[in-house]
Structure 1
Amino acid sequence: MSEVDFQARDTPIQRADPLARELGLAAGQLWIKRDDRTGLNSGGNKARKLEYLVADALEQGCDTLVTTGAAQSNHVSATAAAARATGMTCVAVLSTLGAQHQAEGNLLLDDLFEIEVVWTSPDQRQAVLAETTRQLSDQGRAPYAIPLGGTNPLGAVGYVTAAEELEHQVPGCIAVCAVGTGGTQAGLTVGLENHERVLGFDVAAVPGLADTVPEVIRDCAERLDRPQPLGTWSVDRSQAQEPYGKPTEATHEAIRLTAQTLGVVLDPVYTGRAMAGLIATSRRATLPDAPIVFVHTGGMPALFTHTYRPWFQVPSEFDPAH
């Protein structure tokens, strides 16, 4: 299977004992897989998927990557970076609920990569993606359509390789991840060959995960001639009660606690919510008795947008009296 190199392999594993102590976990039980350190700038987990998807586009002789996402989509900006890195251009179908057109966060990166944007509503993304791809073909371009989040059986292969790395780094671990469109969870499940070894937290990105993710898992395993994973697919929806991207106090707490115990910055849309879920599960003492690896899937640009500005203030001035 062909791939391109976006520096998405063999990401480091970080022992997280200071955070583990805060959560009442044993020393050596909690780890972080630093997939925020992959290539494509802040692309995080998207780089693993795009290594396979972009290779497929190049094999087909395509010259334009076409994809879709929300206005502050990490996937879209990573796809744009991948396009430029391989001599292609990028067209993105972006959706917004209203006030997301400010030049900040991922939209700044989109501008740097000079993507072409088609604006639509969230419920029309897939239809507009198909229509835009058709229009590009009619114009004589050679488009390659990449689905929302890069989630399909080929994209999920990137996280099968991540699972293989995890098994070498922390044998027998439980992988914890955010679940947006489900491609990361799907690949990890295929790679670890057991649904019980992947704890995914739904971040309310898309509805209908129960219909789409098991299908991606099945088709990805078949594509790689691997056994179907043991058990049954599930996702924890405790962090999906608020709309996608809406600031929550649990997410804010999780981001601050992780930063102040580990010096690691999470994002407010995906990893922050997933860490909030992990913290809540730990406090309920319902985590499995096994090593836990939190998969840090990147995505920091959203943190620097007006949506989350109320969480922060100018650092306090040094007081020599203390």
Structure 2
Amino acid sequence: MLDLDLLSHFPRVRLMQGPTPIQRLSRLTQVLGGPEKGVSIWVKRDDLMELGDGGNKLRKLEFLLGQAMAEGCDSVIVTGGVQSNFARLAAAACARTGLACELVLAQMVPRDSEIYQGNGNVLLDRLFGANLHVLTEGDDAGSFAHRRASEIAASGGKAFFATLGGSTPVGALGYVDCAFEIAAQSIEMGIAFQQIVIPNGSGGMHAGLVAGTAVAGKDPSRIRAYTVLSPADVCVAATVDKVNAVFELLGKEDRVQAEDLTISGTQLGRGYGMPTSDMVEAVRIVGRSEGLLLDPVYGGKAFAGLLSDIENEVIAPGSNVLFVMTGGSPGLYAYADALSN
């Protein structure tokens, strides 16, 4: 039986208003060939959140900012890429809660156009009042962040360091909670989801979903991820460690091994943040059939993988598939050159 109080022991700052909805992509089913294709695609709308233009990172930030405040911090330092969704939502969450926000943005993607460096998430970072440190290629973001934390301490403040993507065990608790939401919504809707499809970047979402699904008494092997940051073998190893760290944080004896996770490297392309033709096509298909926006770095690539696996029957006909829409649509504006060709 699910322990609904399991997460109540952890400090938390509420940044969301209740569970995000699950919707069926009926029009997309028709575009893909109708019901004879045998797969029903549903989406968990984690892009529909009021704060900071929405996105899944708010789930992590609820627990991370809770931890920061419990530790008496007055500022938050975040590292990420130039177009980091986590950085954008951290800036918005800090604005909401009154914490100072320092964003250390590294050149993780070899795209130096003016639109990439100044539009999209970066524009919103500035509008939310964050102090931006945009590094040059080769600079070490972690070292810079720790130096900045020392400077803040020297001036009498206390900074909380939120690592890449917020993918600590504490941050992953946000997706333990999401797994509980999905389990409850599945029962309410009377629908069993044979596959839950996600992108995997820094691994925190995947780790939280696996741990939460297991704690909820469901089969975590149904979670299918597409890596968008690192090669599949590296991603699997890192995610295994994160899942087990979440179990430990929750006081659970469960553990996973590499063979328990399904992570595909088919959509990585030339690397993190680098567009692929399949990603562009997936973004267009979902936009033109459902009027919904997938981001170009995470959701677009994962949805491309989903479409490919449906076409090749890697995902069995007759399945109900739940795709977690993680948000990140501001990033589309930084990729206008790739998406408008």
| TM-score normalised over the length of structure 2 | 0.85
Counterpart CA distance in 1 for 2:23 and 2:163 is 31
| 1:109 and 2:109 matched | no
Which residue of 2 is the match for residue 179 of structure 1? 200
| CA apart distance, 1:169 | 1.9
Which residue of 2 is the match for residue 233 of structure 1? 261
Of 281, 292, 295 in structure 2, the residue corresponding to residue 253 of structure 1 is 281
Q: Contact 2:39/2:310 (CA < 8 Å) preserved in 1? A: no
| CA apart distance, 1:212 | 2.3
Which residue of 1 is the match for residue 272 of structure 2? 244
Which residue of 2 is the match for residue 212 of structure 1? 238
Q: Deviations over 1:259-299 (max 9, x none)?
A: 12222111111101110010011111111453210000000
Which residue of 2 is the match for residue 118 of structure 1? 133
Which residue of 2 is the match for residue 99 of structure 1? 112
* CA separation of 1:310 and 1:92: change in aligned 2, threshold 3 A: closer
| CA apart distance, 1:248 | 1.4
- Shifted more, 295-304 versus 197-206: the winner is 197-206
Which residue of 1 is the match for residue 155 of structure 2? 139
Which residue of 2 is the match for residue 38 of structure 1? 49
Counterpart CA distance in 2 for 1:148 and 1:233 is 22
Q: Deviations over 1:213-256 (max 9, x none)?
A: 21111111121233526662341110112222222111111011
Of 149, 153, 178 in structure 1, the residue corresponding to residue 169 of structure 2 is 153
What is the aligned-residue identity percentage?
32
- 1:235 aligns to what SS in structure 2? strand
Counterpart CA distance in 2 for 1:293 and 1:229 is 24
| CA apart distance, 1:98 | 5.9
| 1:85 and 2:93 matched | no
Q: Deviations over 1:32-72 (max 9, x none)?
A: 00000123222411100000000111111111010101111
Counterpart CA distance in 2 for 1:115 and 1:125 is 16
* CA separation of 1:59 and 1:276: change in aligned 2, threshold 3 A: same
- 2:224 aligns to what SS in structure 1? strand
| 1:17 and 2:26 matched | yes
Q: Contact 2:126/2:132 (CA < 8 Å) preserved in 1? A: no
What is the one-letter code of the residue matched to 2:119? E
Counterpart CA distance in 2 for 1:195 and 1:12 is 21
- 1:44 aligns to what SS in structure 2? coil
Counterpart CA distance in 2 for 1:72 and 1:150 is 15
| CA apart distance, 1:301 | 0.7
| 1:70 and 2:98 matched | no
Q: Contact 1:95/1:119 (CA < 8 Å) preserved in 2? A: yes
* CA separation of 1:234 and 1:126: change in aligned 2, threshold 3 A: farther
Counterpart CA distance in 2 for 1:140 and 1:167 is 45
Counterpart CA distance in 2 for 1:243 and 1:122 is 17
Counterpart CA distance in 1 for 2:54 and 2:230 is 17
- 1:247 aligns to what SS in structure 2? coil
What is the one-letter code of the residue matched to 2:75? T
What is the one-letter code of the residue matched to 1:146? A
Counterpart CA distance in 2 for 1:28 and 1:310 is 30
What is the one-letter code of the residue matched to 1:300? S
Counterpart CA distance in 2 for 1:206 and 1:8 is 35
Q: Contact 1:93/1:118 (CA < 8 Å) preserved in 2? A: yes
* CA separation of 1:211 and 1:163: change in aligned 2, threshold 3 A: same
| 1:4 and 2:13 matched | yes
- Shifted more, 241-250 versus 79-88: the winner is 241-250
Counterpart CA distance in 2 for 1:28 and 1:82 is 37
Which residue of 2 is the match for residue 316 of structure 1? none
| 1:191 and 2:207 matched | no
| TM-score normalised over the length of structure 1 | 0.89
1:256-295 matches, cutoff 5 A: 256-288=284-316, 290-295=319-324
Q: Contact 1:39/1:47 (CA < 8 Å) preserved in 2? A: no
What is the one-letter code of the residue matched to 1:256? R
What is the total number of aligned residue pairs between the two structures? 312
Q: Contact 2:28/2:289 (CA < 8 Å) preserved in 1? A: yes
* CA separation of 1:131 and 1:212: change in aligned 2, threshold 3 A: farther
Q: Contact 1:70/1:122 (CA < 8 Å) preserved in 2? A: no
- 2:134 aligns to what SS in structure 1? strand
Counterpart CA distance in 1 for 2:138 and 2:260 is 29
